[in-house]
Chains A and B, each alone.
Chain A
Amino acid sequence: MIKRLCAIGAMGLALVLTACGGGGGGSGGSTASTGSTTTTTTTPTLTNFTTLTVDSGPTALTTNPNGYIDDNIAFVSVTICAPGSTTNCQTIDHVEVDTGSTGLRILVSVITPSLLSALSTETDASSNPVGECLGFVDGYTFGSVRQADFQIGGESVANMPFQAIGDTGVFSTVPSTCSSGGGTNEGTLLALGANGIIGIGVMATDCDAACTVPGGYGAAIYYDCPSTGCSSIITRAASTTAPFQQLPNPVAAMSVDNNGTIISLPAAPTAGEATMTGTLYFGIGTQTNNGLGSATVLTTTTSTSRDGAGLITVDFNNTALNESFLDSGSNLYVFSDSSIPICTETNYTDYYCPTSPVTLSTTLVGANGTSAPASIVINNAYTFFDSTNAVVPGIGGSPASLNQSAVYPQSFDLGLPFFYGRNVYTAIENRTAGSATGPYFAY
């Protein structure tokens, strides 16, 4: 009885969301299996989605003596195959979904040797292997650029370049121009906290025009890697179709449903929970299950903007924080508010620890001037982290102690906790997605 009630409830929720035009709930084939007596399945089964899981992370991480439990990270599984092969394939679990970066990156250590040897490395004009560095807010990844046939859900891209993080041989030495950005080398499972990262942000390729001029670099740096090592920075074209050079946004490279994504996650219980399951939809307004509906479109800065791509403004505490963004790859909110106490416990002094939950009033404003309100609850990180839950809503990171808060940039990072209970749309730059054109976020 309880199960049936739940099933009916879930079905009702799916219908409501569908009526709103939003994603949420599997459509197509799954609808026919709910036991309805009036099933009329005239539409083809949709495959433009895959399962999102928020859990404690790869087994090799959680069981490692020096390992840990991931918090607030949404994972998908992806399949990579030797180009042209349907048998030399591997499904990689626990690949982090990141709307804050672009391109597929996989730890070379999790790829089976027989497959790895069949994944050729991109070569440059000098016929040397191509290496790549990508900067993240807390560090960088470095590795080779290899090619594989890529599949996720029902979508695929042939011969797609990806970064083989922590590759060996000539790639075992990180160029100084890569590490000079500062932060941690995320070339291991312990450092990365995932088997890979799939960047599905607003950029169509991971460096766009910045890497197309001699010596140029942007979010990414591409290297010529002769046997003596990777040092010279090379140009790479920004193409989302074969022949590729830069890493494309995997979604932008798909033949269909290639204008963006929807991250659809249920609301989290206040105290958190062990795991959560949702859906990542490919395409916006391309199928019956990914309509933009009534979501508010907040356009972002572009890849040619002075500040870079993917930024919106968050109005908070009477200040316009114009370097803000939605980032599923951040596992918390990061913002500065000196009125909220910071945790005093060891290892927690980067988090907020209000004595009771604090509700923040924010307004998200797009480059198009459109705004949407968002209420954000911040909990006591020390108390709420003290469990085995991988889903921990309401976690806020404090970037600054109280006397240095003015140094923090005008930024509000809306990490994965913001995505709980919402359908968050990410539209790719210059792609028409529903009634608007990317780059934009919408919810």
Chain B
Amino acid sequence: MKHKRNQPAPLRRTQTWPAAVRLCGGMIAVLAWFGFAAPSFATLGGVSATIEADRAHLAARSSTVVNADYTVHIMTLPNGGTVKEFERSDGVVFGIAWRGPSRPDLRQLLGARFNVLQSDIAVHGGRRLRAPLADERSDFVLHSAGHSGAFVGSAYLPQMAPSDFSISALQ
């Protein structure tokens, strides 16, 4: 029911990706671009920043996995961790996920939503709760877990996700 891994969605064969992507064939196509110029896509909640800007900011190597209605950009960080950006077929980034020894630069990856997160977590009252960063709004959801040396988490924009996107794929 929950936490079940989603079956990979079938490859959509009609999308307008570079030939190199489709040449990979099979159920999943992978392209490593290692810093080559990329099309401009929006980062989470923003329109001006790009996935490539995020990749450069994180000094990451990048590859892509193409699914039916979205593409996953997988960035491998110098410390071995990974950041994934989930991009709708029309270029909108609707989700990110991370794992590794550090939490990534969320100010960069969340764009305007970073301040939303910071402001929402600041209103915790009462007793000290040593709980992971989390935010749940109708238009922005973030969850995280881990400890110093092993962090994992994800964020997405529910209203912008493809209609058939299974949230359990966001990892």
Contacts and interface: CB of A to CB of B under 8 A. Distances in A.
Interface stretch (B11-19, B24-32, B63-71, B96-104): B96-104
A405 B168 CA distance: 10
Given A182-B117, A404-B136, A201 B154 contact: no
B35 interface: no
B3 A319 contact: yes
Contact of A409 (B121, B152, B167): B152
A310 B150 contact: yes
Contacts of A177: 105
Interface string A138-162: 1000000000000000000000000
B152 A307 contact: yes
A323 B152 contact: yes
B78 A180 contact: no
A355 B139 CA distance: 31
A143 B166 CA distance: 42
Given A218-B79, A348-B126, A137 B147 contact: yes
A39 B108 CA distance: 66
Contacts of A413: 132, 145, 147
A304 B80 contact: yes
Given A182-B103, A400-B136, A409-B144, A303 B149 contact: yes
B147 A325 contact: yes
Which of A213, A215, A400, A406 has the most B CB atoms < 10 Å from its CB?
Answer: A406
A346 B150 CA distance: 31
Nearest to A202: B149
Contact of A216 (B79, B118, B136): B79
Interface stretch (A252-260, A283-291, A326-334, A358-366): A326-334
Given A137-B144, A401-B136, A307 B2 contact: no
Interface string A201-217: 10100101010010111
B21 interface: no
Interface residues of A, number: 78
Contacts of A329: 130, 147
A71 B79 contact: no
B81 interface: yes
B152 A203 contact: no
B47 interface: no
A68 B131 CA distance: 17
Given A71-B127, A201-B149, A307-B99, A409 B171 contact: yes
Interface in A314-339: 317, 319, 321, 323, 325, 327, 329-332, 334, 336, 338
Interface string A292-311: 00000000010111111111
Contacts of A347: 124-127
Contacts of A134: 148
Which of B4, B82, B153 has the most A CB atoms < 10 Å from its CB?
Answer: B153
B46 interface: no
B127 A319 contact: no
A321 B171 CA distance: 13
A346 B154 CA distance: 26
Contacts of A308: 81, 99-101, 146, 149-151
A55 interface: no
Interface residues of B, number: 55
Interface in B39-58: none
Given A303-B149, A319-B2, A413-B145, A331 B102 contact: no
A406 B2 contact: yes
B168 A411 contact: no
Interface in A204-260: 206, 208, 210, 213, 215-221
Contacts of A432: none
A193 interface: yes
Given A346-B125, A406-B2, A180 B105 contact: yes
A332 B131 contact: yes
Nearest to B103: A181
Contact of A180 (B2, B107, B132, B141): B107
Given A208-B101, A309-B101, A406-B168, 12 more contacts: A134-B148, A137-B146, A179-B107, A182-B110, A210-B79, A219-B101, A306-B80, A321-B3, A350-B124, A399-B143, A404-B141, A409-B154
By Cβ-Cβ distance, the 6 closest A-B pairs, closest first, are: A308-B150, A100-B147, A347-B126, A411-B145, A101-B148, A218-B101
26 contacts: A69-B127, A100-B148, A102-B149, A135-B102, A137-B147, A137-B151, A138-B130, A180-B108, A181-B102, A183-B133, A201-B149, A206-B149, A210-B80, A219-B148, A220-B148, A301-B150, A310-B147, A323-B146, A325-B146, A329-B130, A350-B134, A399-B145, A407-B143, A407-B167, A408-B145, A415-B130
Interface of A: 68-71, 100-102, 134-138, 176-177, 179-184, 193, 199, 201, 203, 206, 208, 210, 213, 215-221, 301, 303-311, 317, 319, 321, 323, 325, 327, 329-332, 334, 336, 338, 346-348, 350-351, 385, 397, 399-401, 404-411, 413, 415
